[in-house]
Amino acid sequence: MTVRTRFAPSPTGRLHLGHVLAARVAFELASVTAGGTFLLRHEDIDGPRVREAFYQGIEEDLTWLGLLWEGAPLRQTARITAYESALTALREKGLVYPCFCTRREIQEEWARMGAAPQGPEAPVYPGTCRHLSAQEQREKIESGIPYAWRLDSHQASVLTGPLTFRDLRFGEIFVNPDLLGDVVLARKDIGTAYHLAVVVDDAFQEISHITRGEDLLSSTHVHRLLQTLLELPEPLYFHHQLMLDEAGKRLAKRSESLSITHLRDTGLTPQEVIALTDPVFRLPSSPAS
């Protein structure tokens, strides 16, 4: 099968060694298959932290490493209308609702519940606004209270029925719609959020194999729901291991000592930097399976 992969960093800082691993997996998976394509996407909807210099820095680092992409990099900020159209489709099906809760109000609701419902990495939204009437929603919106659009995961799963996705490392996985709860799909000031934008863009770019860190495995449960609801193609997945720091935590952009810029300044060659990912670098034995 034709393999199309993508590397999708956020231009909110320079790349570090964890990014090298992610880009290498996507690049080499495309490279080892006939006619494979490796694409670059800038996931730049986090407006306050995005800097033009970081777009350039990401592309400079990838070029220096020899991880070259095809075509012009996609910027999510150029595709807001596509996300709005997807959100409208979900609204018309009654699968999203406006949430007016602040972080403090959510924490107070967790306290009243006695314990916050837990997701894989953080507590799950308790569904406070899910049961507001249409009139209550309208009154709050008209009064100017800020809100976000959340997916009604229960209603979504009722409509889709049982779902699975295929991971080339973990095998077939059954979708758990309650794993992350009613995630945010869009904010009033931005018009989209990660889960909605990434699903719409992967379909737009015709990505056949989504490669990303195992820390995002739980997000794929939401993404399979959205793909089905929006009638988008189902890709294959490969959730790879992560590069960890000395404390066993995944690398972050604050890890300056492992930034590509720092490693290059110490005199390492591109090949030596890439080789630092060897201990955790793996490709699936059969990309098409």
Q: Which residue has the tokens 């490709």?
A: 283
State which fold the 4-275 domain adopts: Rossmann fold (3.40.50)
* Residue 254 predicted with pLDDT over 60: no
Across the range 160-170, mean pLDDT stands at 97
* Residue 114 predicted with pLDDT over 90: no
Looking at residue 191, what is its pLDDT? 87
Q: Tell me how far CA of residue 275 lies from CA of 64, 218, 272, in angstroms.
A: 14, 29, 5
Chain segment 1-37, per-residue pLDDT in tens: 789 999 999 999 999 999 999 999 999 999 998 889 9
Looking at residue 115, what is its pLDDT? 64
Chain segment 170-184, per-residue pLDDT in tens: 999 999 999 999 999
Q: Which range, of 31-45, 78-92, 97-111, 216-230, averages the lowest pLDDT? A: 97-111
Q: Looking at this protein, which amino acid is placed at residue 279? A: P
Classified as helix, coil or strand, 79 is: coil
Token pair of 23 as six digits? 């880009």
Across the range 106-131, mean pLDDT stands at 82
For every residue of 246-258, DSSP letters joined together read TTSPBP-TT-GGG
In whole angstroms, give the CA distance from residue 273 to residue 129. Answer: 48
SS (H, E, C) 110-141: HHHHCCCCECCCCECCCCCCCCCCHHHHHHHH
pLDDT band of residue 289 (cuts 50, 70, 90) is: low
Chain segment 43-97, per-residue pLDDT in tens: 999 888 899 999 999 999 999 999 999 999 999 999 999 999 999 999 999 999 9
